[in-house]
Homo-oligomer: A and B are copies of this chain.
Amino acid sequence: MTSTFVAIIDFVGTFAFAISGALVAVRHRLDLFGVLVLAFAAATAGGIIRDVLLGATPPVSVLDWRYLAVSSTAGLLTFYRHEQVERMRNPVQLSDAVGLSLFAVLGADKALDAGLGPTGAIMLGILSGVGGGIVRDVLVAQVPSVLQRELYAIAAFVGATVVVAGDALDLPPTPVTVGGATACFVIRWLAIRRGWRLPVSRGGGPA
């Protein structure tokens, strides 16, 4: 893929995740600073943790002011137009699914480039996709929803696995990346539509 194309989808994913962070922040009555922090954290924490684990510091989202600009735009929009953003539930879920798909495949790609093996690359792909949501929820003292709700991480797992398998089979990277992101997106979208969930152990007592 051209790097311009990657940059564009990266910012789309950043915006989508930032909206999810800002929505959580507003619901928990954080102040304006808190909303901007959660927007930025939800959008970038997965990639930042990935970069720190790879030793690729400073992380690109700290170096490049545009990530903060994009996430802050999403944060301000959510802060001052909260009702409208809440009402757009479908578009928000849609863009969140797009963000997940993009971050999972780009994260796996980046880990492979850094020399990680298949397991590490899949793990960091998943982490890139779900890390922001985990940090977002920890910051409002909630159990991360990605550890509980409908298929979310599994979608990222499939997307990252497609990228790693394509790399192992020496397939051309662009269609593989597009295929991985598409697979991730379709699984995530079907999971939302049909309420697909992972099992919960019967040992845990009543909900």
Contacts and interface: CB of A to CB of B under 8 A. Distances in A.
A130 to B, nearest CB: 9
Contact of A63 (B59, B68, B117): B117
Interface in A169-207: 197-205, 207
A10 to B, nearest CB: 17
Interface in A27-42: 27-35, 37-38
Contacts of A118: 65
Contacts of A165: none
B120 A30 contact: no
A147 B83 contact: no
B148 A34 contact: yes
A88 interface: no
Contacts of A119: 65, 68
A134 interface: yes
Nearest to A40: B123
A59 B95 CA distance: 32
Contact of A141 (B38, B52, B141, B202): B141
A207 B29 contact: yes
Contacts of A55: 55, 57-58
A6 interface: no
Q: Which 7 A-B pairs rank lowest in CB-CB distance, beginning with the nearest?
A: A82-B203, A34-B147, A65-B119, A55-B57, A31-B198, A29-B204, A26-B201
Interface of A: 25-35, 37-38, 48, 52-55, 57-59, 62-63, 65, 68, 78-80, 82-83, 86, 114, 116-120, 123-124, 134, 138-144, 146-149, 152-154, 197-205, 207
